[in-house]
Amino acid sequence: MRDAMTHPLRLALTPGEPAGVGPDLVVRLAQRPHPAELIAVADPDLLADRARALGLGLRIQEFDPGAPARPSEPGRLLVQPVPLEVAARPGRLDPRNATYVLETLAQACDACLDGRFDALITAPVHKGVINEGGVHFTGHTEFLAERCGSEPVMMLATPGLRVALATTHLPLSQVGAAITRQHLSRVIEILHHDLSRRFGIARPRILVCGLNPHAGEGGHLGREEIDVIEPVLADSRDRGMDLTGPLPADTAFVPKRLETADAVLAMYHDQGLPVLKHLGFGRAANITLGLPIVRTSVDHGTALDLVGTDRAELGSLETAIDIAIEMAGATGVKS
């Protein structure tokens, strides 16, 4: 890991679905200076074609891992080449490129693991077309966790709010059974650890939502809080963690509570993320905690209808880069 104060960080960018908006965002991002060195892990012809379609000048150079890192310059993009299976047509999904998408992720992840890159930033993929290509795929988070041999925790962040999830892409009918004492304890441990290690927070303050309405209303609206959540929180507090909860989710996000918190832990995907996206959609980033690498991502999808236009917002990708730089460069601890 390079010292961000003296040497530019090297950040890998995967443009995601080649027919989607990811390649557009990468070539538009390359028009701006950045303090880190950005390397796209992608097909260089795809990026060149998309730059021409957008009327952007772009000088593409093959990445040389032996060269000194330097900040990215406007109009220049380093690329670690990965060839498409078939030419990508803007806005037209093709399952034959599923293996290409996964190969870009695999190469970028492996390069972070061996220290060539300091962080990974991912643009959106299309889960459906990858599965249609014959590969079982539930998402970036699960793919990277398996490749790294780690247990992941998903967290989204926008200025003023971080929301982590105890469960991720599960049907609502399966959430209750998935929240066991062992699982919840591990999620809290990872969240606490990475807030300290990756964000430099000495004593993270975490608000924990209940699962049921009114946090179970003393057992009248469900017993998960009594049987699972409260015992886990008590044990975690005994190990020195600053946790508040379980709180009714409908009041956990009021400003007065958030002023005293570094993160909120929601029990399931749509309990926490609507609040965060209402506050900061287009300025939020998805963060995978619990990995041996830094990984952030955008908070939106492939936006097939915006490909080839200049209407796709860069804000989420820039937020993802800013947070990746913060996480990869964190060396001290703040109170």
pLDDT at 292 over 50: yes
2: confidence class by pLDDT, cuts 50, 70, 90: low
Q: What is the pLDDT of residue 333?
A: 38
How many residues are listed for the chain in this entry? 335
Q: What are 139-189's pLDDT values in tens digits? A: 898 899 999 999 999 999 999 999 999 998 889 999 999 999 999 999 999
pLDDT of the residue at 189:
98
**Mean pLDDT, the chain, whole residue set:** 94
Integer angstrom CA distances of residue 184 from 194, 271, 313: 15, 16, 35
Interval 125-138: pLDDT, tens: 999 999 999 999 98
Q: Over 60: is that where the pLDDT of 72 sits?
A: yes
Q: Give CA–CA dist 259/244, Å, rounded.
A: 13
Mean pLDDT of 243-253: 97
Other Cβ atoms within 10 Å of 251 Cβ, number? 12
Q: Is the pLDDT of residue 4 over 80?
A: no
pLDDT in tens, 180-223: 999 999 999 999 999 999 999 999 999 999 999 999 999 999 99
Q: How confident is the model at residue 111 (pLDDT cuts 50, 70, 90)?
A: very high
Average pLDDT over residues 22-44: 97
Of 305, 272, 256, 218, give the one whose Cα is nearest residue 21. 305
Q: Is the pLDDT of residue 51 over 90?
A: yes
The proportion of the chain whose per-residue pLDDT surpasses 90, expressed as a percent, equals 90
List residues forming the annotated binding site. Answer: 140-141, 169, 214, 269, 277, 286, 295
Architecture field, domain 1-150+291-334? 3-Layer(aba) Sandwich (3.40)
pLDDT at residue 310 above 90?
A: no
Q: Does domain 152-289 have CATH number 3.40.50.970?
A: no
Residues placed in the known binding site for substrate: 140-141, 277, 286, 295
For position 102, what pLDDT does the model report? 97
Query: Which residues does the annotation place in the binding site for a divalent metal cation?
Result: 169, 214, 269
Tell me the CB-side half-sphere exposure of residue 60, using CA atoms within 13 A. Answer: 20
Q: What is the pLDDT of residue 335?
A: 33
| Residue 103, pLDDT above cutoff 90 | yes
Percent pLDDT > 70 in the chain is: 96
The pLDDT of residue 177 is 97
Other residues' Cβ atoms within 10 Å of the Cβ of residue 284: 26
Domain 1-150+291-334 matches domain 152-289 at the CATH topology level = yes
In the chain, what are the domain boundaries? 1-150+291-334, 152-289
Q: How far is CA 116 from CA 39, 62, 181, 206, in A?
A: 11, 15, 38, 33
Helix (H, G, I), strand (E, B) or coil at 318: helix
